[in-house]
Structure 1
Amino acid sequence: MMKANVKKVAAVLNPPAPHMVGDGFRVHNFFPSGYRLNMSPFFMLDYNAKIEFSARNEPRGVGVHPHRGFETVTIAYHGAVAHHDSAGNSGTIYPGDVQWMTAASGILHKEYHEENYSKKGGPFQMVQLWVNLPAQYKMSTPKYQGVKQSDMQKLTLPNEQGIIEVIAGDYQGTKGSVTTFSPIEMYNARLNKGAQTTFSFPANYNTGFVVIEGSIKVNGTEQASTNQMVYFENEGENIELEALENSIVLILSGEPINEPIAAYGPFLMNKPEEIQQAIADYNEGKFGYLED
């Protein structure tokens, strides 16, 4: 039964035309360039829809690039990505894993297809989000939070309807292990056909669902299928989700950061002069060193 105080669907969005990021990521940018959506604290959503990469000895990927002022969140569904940064951190994200990198005051970063995956090739599917930081945290110390699939906090739905993996936030008392700088709810809903579950987010939270696999019905009316995004109004709180087939849905909801934004390339700050400072700091080598 549908609860009262429904958070209505504003739009069901098709994936924008894809573009390459480096030679390793073929992404649909849902926002900010694909659609003008009110999704703060999420600034960018690049969705690498499922594709097949051929085997290759030299791994595809993205070379050394800086970040400042925000966090990058990489969620793996198929394939594997290895990463390295100028603070000496490195690791690999496998299917079901999440890497939450707080670039904050600045870091150099590179990410490539993991070597063994690259040599075999195969299906590849990822989401990368840029999560804005409140002004007071933009120049904090960079850090990583890696969540392996085996360590993911999960809530099992009754009657074998599926599971909700809680990456960040709290779903019905199951808390994600990631700590965030502003209130964020982020889950993977892995639902079996016929599953029905509900979500509740404050009216002012910006909310979107990405259908990673399968097809769904929302609030008993709107339907969305693989690679589409459901974007919600900023009114009402309750969302009913039904899986029309076995489905995976990325659930995103967060409290907006109501601060000015100055964005340029890999820098996300509040004022234009902070962008100039970021560029100067990068050129002066203050982000450290990382070999390409």
Structure 2
Amino acid sequence: MEANIKNVSAILNAPAPHMVGDGFRVHNFFPSGYRIKMSPFFMLDYNAKIEFSARNEPRGVGVHPHRGFETVTIAYHGAVAHHDSAGNSGVIYPGDVQWMTAAGGILHKEYHEEEFSKKGGAFQMVQLWVNLPAKYKMNAPKYQDVKHSEMAKFELEHGQGSIEVIAGAYKGLNGSASTFSPLHLYNAKLNKGEKASFSFPANYNTGFVIIEGSILINGTETAKTDQFVHFKNEGSEIEIEALENAVVLVLSGEPIDETIAQYGPFLMNTAEEIQEAISDYNQGKFGYLED
């Protein structure tokens, strides 16, 4: 068993925060915060738990384009509303996930939901950028709304917690979000003193965001709130124990072994495709969305 453990590569503190628009105060764990291998996940922005004051005019991010990847927004505290140029709109509340496939191109805006904005309060979110394999980058955009009430939940024995399966599978239970390459995305919620185990292929890039509480990993290393745990590409088995009530975002996926060209909100394979994305955006080919 020990020879097959997926050991920790590093336990990383949250980098200095920066604002995205005026509504999201984020710590970018990768690619700019730390140079770590996490493909197919290209970016992780973590809005650590903060309090926003009440305000009539919602904070947020105005209209902006995306091409070549997916944005996955996971709500823990607070509420975010969103609109896109494909006609999708909605609100994600704590526990919900918004999975937007920008693919060939979309305009998007996201901001604090109106009632939350008027009341203010605790706000905590994660946004991931998930790369798309080259053959899917120019697909039509699509949208998946994963409500907490409908999310697949694997209940651990003796009431010790649950694994909410957003995408991929956990011990045979499949998440509802469809993906373009093999990946797993879970929220692990454990009561103090309880354990959970995970198994991922050795070559999968794997990481944990400690959303709340603290955990013991493989019986040896401790990670606490707002830290990111990066694992080595060896072994497959991980065991965690909650040192206090804990919430852990688990991400693991098969690397996409393709070249990457990135410029702002465009994630393609070549410099020529980036130029094409800029040109298409400037020509209005991403549709229209009112700011």
Between the two proteins, what is the percent identity of the paired residues?
Answer: 78
How many angstroms apart in 2 are the aligned matches of 1:209 and 1:87?
32
Q: Which residue of 1 aligns with 2:44?
A: 45
Q: Give the whole-Å Cα distance in 2 for the aligned partners of 1:98 and 1:194.
A: 28
**Which residue of 2 is the match for residue 166 of structure 1?**
165
For residues 204-259 of structure 1, give each alpha carbon's deviation from its aligned partner in whole angstroms, at most 9, with x where no partner exists: 00000000000000010010000001100000000011100000000000000000
Distance (Å, rounded) in 1 between the aligned partners of 2:180 and 2:2? 31
Partner of 2:72: 73
Matches within 5 A, 1:196-215: 196-215=195-214
SS in 2 for 1:249: strand
On the 8 A contact 1:4/1:238 being kept in 2, the answer is no
Aligned counterpart, 1:233: 232
Give the aligned partner of residue 140 of structure 2. 141
Instruction: Normalising by structure 2, report the TM-score.
Output: 0.99
SS at match of 2:51: strand
CA contact (8 A) 1:169 1:183 kept: yes
User: What residue in structure 1 maps to residue 59 of structure 2?
Assistant: 60
Aligned counterparts, 1:1-292, within 5 A: 4-292=3-291
Q: Report the Cα distance in structure 1 between the residues aligned to 2:125 and 2:38, rounded to whole angstroms.
A: 19
Q: Deviations over 1:180-210 (max 9, x none)?
A: 0000100000110011111000000000000
- How far apart, CA to CA, are the structure 1 residues paired with 2:144 and 2:20? 23
Distance in 1 between residues matched to 2:68 and 2:289, nearest whole Å: 19
- Separation in structure 1 between the aligned mates of residue 255 and residue 24 of structure 2, nearest angstrom: 28
Q: Deviation at 1:4?
A: 4.2
Q: Distance in 1 between matches of 2:213 and 2:196?
A: 16
Q: Secondary structure at the match of 2:107?
A: strand
Contact 1:152 1:176 in 2 (8 A): yes
What is the CA RMSD across the aligned residues, in angstroms?
Answer: 0.6
Cα deviation for residue 173 of structure 1 reads: 1.0
2:178 corresponds to which letter in structure 1? T
SS of residue paired to 2:4:
coil
Q: 2:279, 2:167 → 1: CA distance?
A: 34
Matched residue SS, 1:16: coil
Within 2, Cα distance between the matches of 1:37 and 1:191?
Answer: 27
What is the rounded CA distance, in whole Å, between the counterparts of 1:4 and 1:188 in structure 2? 27
Moved over 4 A (4+): none
Q: Which runs of 5+ in 1 are unaligned?
A: none
Q: Give how far 1:160 is off.
A: 1.2
One-letter identity of the residue aligned with 1:30: F
| Distance in 1 between residues matched to 2:76 and 2:137, nearest whole Å | 29
Give the Cα–Cα distance (whole angstroms) in 1 for the partners of residues 195 and 88 of structure 2.
40
Tell which deviates more after alignment, 125-134 or 82-91.
82-91
Separation of aligned partners in 2, 1:182 and 1:3? 29
CA shift for structure 1 position 53: 0.1
Instruction: Summarize deviations over 1:17-39 as a string: whole Å, max 9, x none.
Output: 00000000000000000000100
**Count, aligned residues:** 291
**Paired AA for residue 232 in structure 1:** F
